[in-house]
Structure 1
Amino acid sequence: METRELAYFAAVAEELHFGRAAARLGMAQPPLSRAIQKLERRLGVRLFDRSSRGVALTPAGEVLAREAAKVLDAVAAAAARTRRAGRDDPVLVVALKPGGDGGLLPEILAAYRACPDAVEVELALCGVTERARLVREGRADVAFLHSPYEDLAGFDCEPLRVEGGVAVMSPGHPLAGRACVRLCDLDAGPAPVWPGRHSEIVEPAMLMQLAALGRLVVVAPESVRDLVRRDLVCVPVADAEPTTVVLAWPEGERSRELAAFVRTATMVAQRTAPHAQTRPTPP
């Protein structure tokens, strides 16, 4: 299959209308219909059910729609990475959410500048859901992600730091004065806990505002302490699932500047690893 054929198929699969798909592709409808028919003959399956009620994907078409999206995304990402690699002034684009580096980035950048293979680093500060997408689309070279909360499929990864959790809440919350809490304490509280209820909210500013209003308790990695608003408090959560800060980059990518960045980040993480501490036990 050619990527052109997959692009034709993907347009029809998304529009479920040959006329709209043809207009989107900037072509006439008859050649688009012929291209889809040719693809169906080649694969030996029907990809669309066509009837007076409209166009629908067959089970085989649903499978190809998922796979075609992956292929087309990979081709677009390869083109983007290739163009950036050919720049006269190469840069390494690092995607992260504010505070999502586990407190490691300043030392990593300082150490990386001394590496022989270092290039200029450009930071892509973005939302929680955008970091991995930027790397997959070829618009960033590497990202700080958090395991186990994010899909790491298609990435090579290097774990940097394991963090416990804290509950971010309003000072007026009944548990705000505790030295430590458990998840069951939070579940029994007056405000819902995130993640869980309201998991669709992913923007940190919105989460912090709801916590300040007493509408939500946010369980987050402990490094968030350095970023929370002054009208919020952080209470350690003894049994929160650990979060691992990882560096993630496209599987198989082996550029020298990226390798130097990963080595530097690993070295800094090992050097600055906090000494083992015993978590406080809640009463």
Structure 2
Amino acid sequence: METRELRYFVAVAEELHFGRAAQRLGIAQPPLSRAIAGLERRLGAALLERGSRGVTLTGAGAVLLREARAALDAVEAAERRTRRAALAGTGRPAVVLAAKAGASSELLAKLLDAYAAEPGAVTVDVLLCGPGEQAPVLRDGRADVALLHRPFDDTAGFETEELHTEGQVAILPAGHPLGTRTELRLGEITGLPDLPLPRWPRPDGTFPDGPGPQVRDHTQLTQLIALGRACAIVPETGRAGLAEGLTAVPVVDAPRVTTVIAWPPHSRSTAVAGLIRAATAL
């Protein structure tokens, strides 16, 4: 299969309409239809069910959509990493580590110090991301390695090593009645009318429905909590460096969070390998 065919198929599978897919791709509809039909003939499988109102995916089509997205992400990542390697050839080589802004700060600092002390260590450029952004930037080649957090981040398709598992705490305004408690339960937090949980953006940039404020970064969240407009449930390490006016209370029935270091399975970078060794040694 050619990457062009995969891009054509993904467009049709996502739009579920040949006309809209052709417009999105900037081509005429007839060659698009011929390309998909040719792909189906070569694979010996129907990928789409055509109807008067559009198209639907067959079981085989759903499999190809998932695999095609992964393949196209890998191609894009290869392009990005190759360009970065070429630029590194003109100066000092570097490895890009993606991490969630405001999370795992102590672990990240220890990791950078431990790796810097290793013989042959290269520069580590830290790419601070919003919630859920680390996995996409690792997949598309903007990062070489990432710190991810299960069960929140998608680690499918990556090699991983577990680094740390911890409970979660509720971050509240210091003067809130629940802030004096020694422990809380999820039900006590999720139903607070005066302190709703924030709404983080989805991968497509839209926000889920709900009463909570729309939040895009850690700084914005802490300001809203201090103002008494929201609360949050975060890993225990969120206690570190807690801003004035905030308090943290353990949430005993919240799912435990495991921090992992993740990298693409095809990576052959000695710098990435060294960073992973330093992380697991911690």
Q: Hey, what does 1:116 align to over in structure 2?
A: 119
Paired residues of 1:102 and 1:161 also in contact (CA < 8 A):
no
Number of residue pairs aligned between Structure 1 and Structure 2: 268
Supply the distance in 2 between the matched residues of 1:36 and 1:25 (Cα, whole angstroms): 14
Supply the distance in 1 between the matched residues of 2:196 and 2:162 (Cα, whole angstroms): 27
With over 3 angstroms needed to count, the CA separation of the structure-2 counterparts of 1:52 and 1:211, relative to structure 1, is same
Task: Please identify, of 13-22 and 142-151, the stretch whose mean Cα deviation from structure 2 is larger.
Answer: 13-22
The correspondence of residues 133-172 of structure 1 with structure 2, limited to 5 A, is 133-172=136-175
Amino acid at match of 1:12: V
Give the superposition deviation at 1:122.
0.8
Give the superposition deviation at 1:11.
2.3
Two-structure CA RMSD over aligned residues (Å) = 3.0
Q: Hey, what does 1:261 align to over in structure 2?
A: 275
Paired residues of 2:190 and 2:197 also in contact (CA < 8 A):
no
Task: Please identify, of 136-145 and 163-172, the stretch whose mean Cα deviation from structure 2 is larger.
Answer: 163-172
Supply the distance in 2 between the matched residues of 1:60 and 1:225 (Cα, whole angstroms): 47
Paired residues of 1:195 and 1:219 also in contact (CA < 8 A):
no
Supply the distance in 2 between the matched residues of 1:138 and 1:69 (Cα, whole angstroms): 14
Supply the distance in 2 between the matched residues of 1:182 and 1:28 (Cα, whole angstroms): 57
Q: Hey, what does 2:79 align to over in structure 1?
A: 79
Q: Hey, what does 1:177 align to over in structure 2?
A: 180
Give the superposition deviation at 1:76.
1.6
Rg larger in structure: 1
Q: Hey, what does 1:53 align to over in structure 2?
A: 53
Provide structure 2 residue ranges, at least 5 long, that are not aligned to the other structure. Answer: 200-209
Q: Hey, what does 1:93 align to over in structure 2?
A: 96
Task: Please identify, of 12-21 and 172-181, the stretch whose mean Cα deviation from structure 2 is larger.
Answer: 12-21
Paired residues of 1:117 and 1:256 also in contact (CA < 8 A):
no
| TM-score, length of structure 1 as denominator length | 0.80
User: 1:189-234: CA deviations, max 9, x gaps?
Assistant: 6556748976986643454344334444322112112343322111
Paired residues of 1:193 and 1:219 also in contact (CA < 8 A):
no
SS at match of 2:233: strand
Q: Hey, what does 1:36 align to over in structure 2?
A: 36
Supply the distance in 1 between the matched residues of 2:27 and 2:4 (Cα, whole angstroms): 13
Supply the distance in 2 between the matched residues of 1:17 and 1:183 (Cα, whole angstroms): 43
| TM-score, length of structure 2 as denominator length | 0.80
Amino acid at match of 1:166: V
Amino acid at match of 2:84: R
Q: Hey, what does 1:4 align to over in structure 2?
A: 4
Task: Please identify, of 38-47 and 256-265, the stretch whose mean Cα deviation from structure 2 is larger.
Answer: 38-47
Supply the distance in 1 between the matched residues of 2:267 and 2:120 (Cα, whole angstroms): 15
Task: Please identify, of 58-67 and 223-232, the stretch whose mean Cα deviation from structure 2 is larger.
Answer: 58-67
Q: Hey, what does 1:229 align to over in structure 2?
A: 243
Q: Hey, what does 1:277 align to over in structure 2?
A: none
Give the superposition deviation at 1:147.
1.9
Q: Hey, what does 1:66 align to over in structure 2?
A: 66
With over 3 angstroms needed to count, the CA separation of the structure-2 counterparts of 1:252 and 1:193, relative to structure 1, is farther
